Amino acid sequence: MAPLDMSAPGWEVRQGQAIWRPDNKKPEIAGEIVLATNPNGNSYVQFSKTIPIVSAQSSPDRWEAEFPPENKHYSGSGAGPARLVWVQLLRAIEGRELKGDWRLIHPSNDFIALEDDDSGERLEVHFQH
C-alpha cells in the first residue's frame, strides 16, 4: 500500500497507551499506540515500545501488517484475516463488523478492547485527550 499522509485534511489521529497479550501463554506487552482514520475508509495503527512492534493499515479493498522485530510483512486484498487483532482493531474503529471470534469490550471515546476467548489474545487501548 502507498504511504499515508496523516497530516492531509480529513485524517483524525489519536494516541494513547495499549496493552497487548498475544495469547494465553505469553506475557502482556505495554506500549504506545497511534491510530488514524479518514473519511475515505483508510486507517492506520502503530503499536510501539521504543521501536515499532507492529504497524497495520487498511483501505476499503486492501490491508497490510508489518512486524519489524520479526522482519515479517503480510498484505492482501479484502478485509484482512480474522487472526490479526490489529486489522480487527481498525475494523472496530471504523464501525465495521469484526471477523472470527473477536468480541468488542466496552468501547468508548477513551477506551476500546478486543478479545478472542479461544486464543486468549487481548488488546486494550486507552486514548489520551
Task: State the CATH number of the domain containing residue 95.
Answer: 2.50.20.10
What's the pLDDT at 106? 83
**Shortest CA distance to 115 belongs to which of 14, 24, 15?**
24
**Cβ pair 11, 36 in contact under 8 A:** yes
The reply to whether 6 falls in a domain is: no
The reply to whether 7 falls in a domain is: no
pLDDT digits over 9-38, tens only? 999 999 999 999 998 889 999 999 999 999
Q: Which domain holds residue 115?
A: 12-127
The reply to whether 93 falls in a domain is: yes
The reply to whether 25 falls in a domain is: yes
The reply to whether 96 falls in a domain is: yes
The reply to whether 92 falls in a domain is: yes
The number of distinct structural domains making up the chain is 1
**DSSP 3-state of 75:** strand
pLDDT digits over 45-101, tens only? 999 998 999 999 999 889 999 999 999 999 999 888 999 999 999 999 888 889 999
The reply to whether 22 falls in a domain is: yes
**Shortest CA distance to 22 belongs to which of 78, 91, 69, 92?**
69
pTM: 0.89
The reply to whether 5 falls in a domain is: no
